Amino acid sequence: MVAAIRYRAVLPSVGEGLSSRHQVAKFDEYLIRQAMSAPMIKSNRPTAFLGMLFVLFLLFSWTMQARADVVLAEGQVSASITTELAFFRDDNGSQALADMLSRPATDWKQNGSQTFSHGYSNAHWWLRFDVSNPQKTPAHLLLELSYPVLDDIEVWILAPDGTLESHYRLGDKQPFSARLVQHRFFLIPLELAGDARRTVMLRLHSTSSMQAPLTLWKERAYYEQDQHVLLAEGLFFGGIGLLVIYSFFVFIALRERMYFYYVVFVLSLLAFLGALKGFAFQFAWPQATEWNDRVLMVSLSAMLLSGGLFTYRFLGLNAQSGRLQRIASFLIMLLTVFVVLSLFMGYGTLIQLLVVFGAVSCLFMLIVGAWRWHQGDHAARFYTLAWGFMLLGGVILALNKFQLLPQNFFTENAMQIGVAIEVFLLSIAIVDRINENRRLQISAHKEILAGERRTREAQFNALVAEREANELLEQRVSERTEELRGANQKLEELSISDQLTGLRNRRYLDRLLIKESHRCHRYQHSLAVLMLDIDHFKRFNDSFGHDVGDECLRHVAAVLTKEMRTPIDHVARYGGEEFCVVMPETDLEGARIVAERIRKAIEDMDFKVDGRRVPVTASIGVVAMVPLEMDYGRELLKIADNRLYEAKAAGRNCVIAASTKPHEFDV
């Protein structure tokens, strides 16, 4: 409390003109200097000891606020912003910039990974890092956020004194023309004078996967390397586009549906990659923000459906019988449903289903291709190699993102290289398949007739087996659920109980104070908190041993439990020889009466050691008031603790229930 009052009185003079974070740091330095220079009073050793602890706490909190800057050294053109990144998760999106600037450093988490990725989340994510220019000359920098499907991005650039220099609003929910730099990625210019330092804060929110690949670039170097990337991307999309045109004309000439499915598959693949990399939004539909948000789902579901239909016909699964053909038909039916849902369903839920289902479908197609190759299907080898290259490209890209492979042109573009090889091999496989189908058309017709008969039998057997399996599964699930429910109840009870005394523990007390503080603040009812400490307990342990001390704690816990007269009053072990009593709907006089009754009961407690009665007393601090805020339980606990120390100072074995003082609300 004294620290808070001194903070308010001294802070303007020691931190004038600085941001709140720098003001706290300056004030910590001031308090440390004051504490180190103040003479220690020999007659007040506990006060000096507490003062030293307070100084150590400030040193610790000051150290926690320090963080490394992002710096581009001389000769360095880019730097990945990973370990220097601090983040905060805002679940309901209620935090504003002012709230985050005033939030203590301990609330921020340091990014412990080489990437910032938190999957699909509806939360708002705050990111923070510092950028420094150690050179004497001005630096023209670009902050690159290379994930173009983020919905909403807010950027604040703050000067060292905490003043706001720039504020930008980005994201694929806004027209492309609203971007600071007309680029497929989100680019934020940073102009730093010599020896300058800036703090960058971002707030991200998206229905897509929450990723933030942040890189700091020198402006000229970024545009130079981007030319090479654009050349490679142009060759990729141009080459695939030529194959699409060629395949479309072949479809017109031969009227073979397999070619149509192939054309739709490649077009959907191009649309998906173009949207994922930001090219489609930049060049195809820069104003259609709603369509740009939905095109990923539509193109991915269309790609999976057309790829499944192509696989179904290319590998001759329509001529197969048994479970494989049934699984393929079922997958195609589900993919059709996904295509329809992609036109109406929300992005966040459907895209996760599509990603999981797409991975399963691609793996299934690869397995089927290998199986057909093993059976002697000549064209299936091209098909299997094609899907294998695409999946291999995806695996290499994933290993690169997890820092298991070096970052270079090949690993960064492995997915597109695999897709290019896949499209080329599939084109060869289609031509080979057409020739083979002409030779095997007659024998395939006979196999279809026999396969239909086997399919009916397999379907019937599968239905019977599935029904029996479902019945057995339901029975086992019910039994297991009941066991888990009982185990969870036991674990919950153990997690909130003190093993020594049988009372509730500190964890339960914290949750109870939050709940009761919210309720009493809402209805303007009084909430009483009692802090109880056994007098001279350390001397008691030293004299009789810790086993006797534990027995004494159990006796005191039994007395407290007995003195609780209403179900809404709760008693918990706060720690060591301290106990806490929470009494909702109780004013200060009522709380004092209960505290006095407890004190008297402990004093009259018949506690014996080796047949001889040993007196036990306790000091009790009491506070009762209507909580000033929704989350005021911790403040009441601090005030009750102050009353407890006053009771100890007054000679122990007494109750202090004085009214609260105004400055105590500033703790």
Average pLDDT, integer, range 35-47: 44
Helix (H), strand (E) counts: the chain? 18, 20
Range of weakest confidence among 183-187, 244-248, 578-582: 244-248
Does the pLDDT of residue 652 top 70, yes or no? yes
Each residue's pLDDT tens digit, 480-529: 888 888 778 777 777 888 888 888 988 898 999 999 999 999 999 999 99
Residues 623-644, mean pLDDT to the nearest whole number = 90
| Contact present, 113 and 400 (Cβ < 8 Å) | no
131 falls in which pLDDT band (50, 70, 90)? very high
Work out the average pLDDT over 404-430: 72
Q: Identify the CA nearest to 141 among candidates 203, 204, 188, 105.
A: 188
Q: Which comes out higher in pLDDT, residue 331 or 551?
A: 551
Summarize the confidence of residues 398-424 as an average pLDDT: 67
Question: Is the pLDDT at 442 greater than 80, yes or no?
Answer: no
Confidence of residue 16 (pLDDT cuts 50, 70, 90): very low
Distant-in-sequence, close-in-space partners of 345: CB < 8 Å, separation ≥ 6: 297
Q: Nearest CA to 351 among 413, 400, 295?
A: 295
What does the DSSP 8-state code read for residue 604?
A: T
Displacement of CA 384 from its chain's centroid (Å): 38
Residue 174 or 397, more confident? 174
Which structure tokens are listed for 315?
Answer: 């590998």
Choose the most confident range, by mean pLDDT, from 183-187, 349-353, 411-415.
Answer: 183-187
pLDDT for the residue numbered 525: 92
Question: Which range has the top average pLDDT, 117-126, 347-356, 653-662?
Answer: 117-126
Number of neighbouring beta carbons within 10 Å of residue 462: 13
Query: Can you give the pLDDT at residue 646?
Result: 92
Sign of CA dihedral 351, 357, 363, 365: negative
How many other CB atoms are found less than 10 A from the CB of residue 151?
A: 18
70 contacts 85 by C-beta, under 8 angstroms: no
| Mean residue pLDDT across the chain | 80
* pLDDT category of residue 9 using cuts at 50, 70 and 90: very low
Each residue of 587-621: pLDDT tens digit?
999 999 999 999 999 999 888 888 888 899 999 99
Q: Is the pLDDT of residue 586 over 70?
A: yes
Best CA proximity match to 513, nearest among 466, 424, 581, 567: 581
pLDDT over threshold 60, residue 643:
yes
User: Does the pLDDT of residue 406 top 90, yes or no?
Assistant: no
The three-state DSSP-derived secondary structure of 68-91 is CEEECCCCCCEEECCCCCEEEEEC
3-state secondary structure of 125: strand
Which tens digit of pLDDT belongs to each residue from 300-314? 888 888 888 888 887
Q: How confident is the model at residue 7, as a pLDDT?
A: 33
State residue 591's pLDDT score: 92
CA distances to 21, 90, 125, 201, 617 from 99, in Å: 12, 11, 14, 12, 46
Residue 199, pLDDT score: 92
If you average pLDDT over each of 30-44, 63-77, 316-330, 606-620, which comes out highest? 606-620
Give 471: exposed, middle or buried? Use CB within 10 Å, 0-12, 13-18, 19+.
Answer: exposed
Q: Which residues of 559-576 are buried (b: 16+ CB within 10 A; e: fewer)?
A: bbeebeeeeebbbbbbee
Q: Which of 306, 316, 144 is nearest to 216 (CA)?
A: 144
Residue 8 has pLDDT above 60, yes or no: no
- For residue 407, the SS3 value is coil
The answer to whether residues 571 and 564 touch, using CB atoms and an 8 Å cutoff, is yes
- Average the pLDDT over 37-62 and give the result: 46
pLDDT band for position 474 (cuts 50, 70, 90):
confident
**Contact indicator for 161, 271 with CB cutoff of 8 Å:** no
> Is the pLDDT at 627 greater than 80, yes or no?
yes
Task: Output the pLDDT for position 38.
Answer: 44
pTM above 0.85, yes or no: no
pLDDT at 67: 58
